Amino acid sequence: MTEPPMTHRVWVDLGERGYPVEIGPGVRRLLPDVVGRIGAARVAVVSARPDLDAVPDPGVPALRITARDGEHGKTLANVQELCEGFASFGLTRSDAVVSCGGGTTTDVVGLAAALYHRGIAVIHLPTSLLAQVDASVGGKTAVNLPAGKNLVGAYWQPSAVLCDTDHLRTLPAREWTNGYGEIARAHFIGAGDLRGLPVAEQIARSVALKASIVARDERDGGLRHILNYGHTLGHALEIVTGFEMRHGEGVAVGTVFAGRLAAALGLIDEARAAEHLDVVAHYGLPTALPADVDIADLVAAMRRDKKSTNTGLTFVLDSPEGPQLVPDVPPDVVVSTLEAMDRDGDRDRHGVRDRDRDGESERCTA
């Protein structure tokens, strides 16, 4: 296999189902090699990118379908429509599907691949920072219901993930913010301090952490829960704002909240809680609750989180032993911690600071 220069490779070690995650400029050109390794005679390419060059010629007959990127496209109806397209094209279990787009595209296309013929190979070409650093890796696929995020899904590992950093050159500032929410939370679950590193290195180290966790706990039996650090409040913020707040933005605020909640429960000291705020703020991410959200609505949404039990709220929180799943957190402590959170007021919570925005094109080359 011809490897482009200046790339990183992370292996997700799942035995016979293991796969590579290729990271760097130009790695999407590896697609024909991956298709050849799989042995697919034809592929369906589901792409959110209008430029045909976003997905190279896979080397076999291909059907191209326009993806509905964005949270409002994460529906079972969309999955059904994709599967009907696969069937019309005549895809069989020995063929493959290619996704190209952000995290919602990898989620939806991954679920369609998991369900079609009870499972067909899928290759992800994530094009957003959020998708490259997290959503495309690990085999979780899901769509939303009105009751909550990602409530219908399946575990379906891809055959390869090609994180071409050239795709990041055209990302708007808010999409950088969206991705850096996941990178900031990785600081507190074992990735180390990623601040100041080239973006390809930040992606590679975040993916390597996730790969090591998925290899030990593919189906959320325990350890994998730590990947949801900051996500319980983050998902609730997405829901109550009607997805006006993006995923990474919600995770950023959720990470600050996780530090404060852990301190309120006596799991960490105030200095460690302050570190949460410092790390999140470094990336130019939102650190406060939106001014107009209702705390009762947030708590109700968090109760519907997949990790919650019948008896109470559950969070992944920091501790002297590292991140851990903490069940049955007293609701009054959750409410008081939320009430003590800053409100955004008139601040621009979606902007990326100038020094971060100016450096993205340069960092994409590293």
Q: What percent of the chain has pLDDT over 70?
A: 91
Angle, in degrees to the nearest 10, between helices 247-264 and 270-282? 170
192: left (phi over 0), alpha (psi -120 to 50) or beta: left
Please list the residues that pair with 83 across neighbouring strands: none
**Three-class SS of residue 265?**
coil
Amino acid at 29: R
Please state the φ and ψ torsions of residue 293, each to the nearest 5 degrees: -85, 145
- The residues near 77 (Cβ < 8 Å, ≥ 6 apart) are none
Quick one: pLDDT at residue 309?
56
Mean pLDDT across the chain: 90
The pair of structure tokens assigned to 352 is 């990326």
Could you give the CA distance from residue 346 to residue 291 in angstroms, rounded to a whole number? 8
Judged on CB neighbours under 10 Å (0-12, 13-18, 19+), 360 is middle
pLDDT higher for 336 or 360? 336
pTM: 0.88
Domains of the chain by residue range: 8-171, 229-354
In the predicted model, is pLDDT for residue 365 greater than 80?
Answer: no
Quick one: pLDDT at residue 349?
41
User: How long, in residues, is the chain?
Assistant: 366
Q: Quote the Cα angle for 143-145-147, to 5°.
A: 140
In the predicted model, is pLDDT for residue 213 greater than 60?
Answer: yes
For 284-294, how does the pLDDT look when each residue is reduced to its tens digit (9 = 90+)?
Answer: 999 999 999 99
Kindly indicate the confidence band of residue 260, based on its pLDDT and cuts at 50, 70 and 90: very high
In the predicted model, is pLDDT for residue 270 greater than 60?
Answer: yes
Is-contact 340 260, C-beta < 8 A? yes
Is-contact 239 301, C-beta < 8 A? yes
Please list the residues that pair with 43 across neighbouring strands: 62, 96
Could you give the CA distance from residue 348 to residue 120 in angstroms, rounded to a whole number? 43
Quick one: pLDDT at residue 355?
34
Kindly indicate the confidence band of residue 351, based on its pLDDT and cuts at 50, 70 and 90: very low
Is-contact 79 112, C-beta < 8 A? yes
Quick one: pLDDT at residue 346?
38
Kindly indicate the confidence band of residue 311, based on its pLDDT and cuts at 50, 70 and 90: low
Question: Alpha carbon 216 to chain centroid distance?
Answer: 19
For 32-67, how does the pLDDT look when each residue is reduced to its tens digit (9 = 90+)?
Answer: 999 999 999 999 999 999 887 899 999 999 999 999
The pair of structure tokens assigned to 330 is 């007293």
pLDDT higher for 185 or 357? 185
Quick one: pLDDT at residue 53?
87
In the predicted model, is pLDDT for residue 18 greater than 50?
Answer: yes
Among 1-5, 146-150, 199-203, 325-329, where is mean pLDDT lowest? 1-5
Quick one: pLDDT at residue 357?
39
**Three-class SS of residue 328?**
strand
Is-contact 89 120, C-beta < 8 A? no
Is-contact 224 217, C-beta < 8 A? yes
- The DSSP string of 89-141 is HT--TTSEEEEEESHHHHHHHHHHHHHGGG--EEEEEE-SHHIIIIITSSSEE
Residue 174: CB atoms within 10 A of its CB come to 13
Kindly indicate the confidence band of residue 307, based on its pLDDT and cuts at 50, 70 and 90: low
In the predicted model, is pLDDT for residue 323 greater than 50?
Answer: yes
**Three-class SS of residue 172?**
coil
Range 229-354 classified under CATH 3.20.20.140 = no
Closest CA to 288 of 233, 227, 329, 242: 233
Quick one: pLDDT at residue 74?
95
For 155-169, how does the pLDDT look when each residue is reduced to its tens digit (9 = 90+)?
Answer: 999 999 999 999 999
In the predicted model, is pLDDT for residue 345 greater than 90?
Answer: no
The CATH class for the domain spanning 8-171 reads alpha beta
